């Protein structure tokens, strides 16, 4: 989806659907792309929250008031890693100049999606609530022992009684 400004609307209703999400899937061994993603996430949050350096960012815990403040613009999300892929799920306020727009511009698609590299983002799909505020403003990292492909093929993972 194009990030052309004509497709974007400004955030006039803070009680409406104002959050956007972005998913980036890339091979596990893609150090340059990972550095760009992590640096953009960190830089945007430092600017949005007016913090001095990443050590403040890593120890920052959002208060209940900050979590409830829909005008507070920052990125939150997580990274899932296995032996094959890394998947980043990032959310933030959508619209021109907002955190997720800045993040997309830094990590803009340079080629079409394929089996090894995907960016999933649609500026016209917005959400009313954040899902990942519990992770605060530092990227949460989740390392899987088995590959996600293997886990998804295991029937036990779909039975609630067998998975805590």
Domains of the chain: 5-144 (3.30.70)
pLDDT in tens, 105-154: 999 888 899 988 999 999 889 999 999 988 889 899 999 988 888 877 87
With 0-12 CB in 10 A as exposed, 13-18 as middle and 19+ as buried, what is 41? Answer: buried
**CA pair distance 55, 74, nearest whole angstrom:** 16
Paired residues of 85 in beta bridges: 27
pLDDT of residue 5: 41
With 0-12 CB in 10 A as exposed, 13-18 as middle and 19+ as buried, what is 44? Answer: buried
**CA pair distance 164, 159, nearest whole angstrom:** 10
Report pTM: 0.82
Is the pLDDT reported for residue 11 higher than 50?
no
């Amino acid at each position: 989806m194009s990030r052309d400004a004509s497709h974007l609307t400004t955030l006039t209703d803070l009680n409406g659907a104002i959050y956007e999400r972005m998913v980036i899937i890339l091979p596990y061994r893609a150090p340059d792309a990972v550095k760009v993603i992590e640096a953009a996430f960190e830089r945007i949050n430092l600017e949005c929250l007016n913090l001095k350096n990443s050590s403040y960012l890593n120890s920052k815990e959002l208060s209940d008031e900050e979590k409830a403040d829909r005008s507070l613009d920052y990125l939150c999300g997580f990274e899932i890693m296995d032996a094959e892929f890394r998947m980043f799920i990032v959310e933030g306020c959508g619209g021109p100049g907002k955190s997720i727009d800045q993040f997309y511009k830094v990590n803009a698609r340079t080629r079409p999606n394929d089996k090894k590299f995907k960016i999933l983002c649609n500026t016209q799909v917005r959400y009313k609530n954040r899902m990942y505020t519990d992770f605060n403003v530092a990227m949460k990292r989740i390392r899987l022992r088995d590959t996600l492909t293997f886990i998804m093929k295991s029937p036990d993972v779909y039975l609630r009684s067998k998975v805590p």
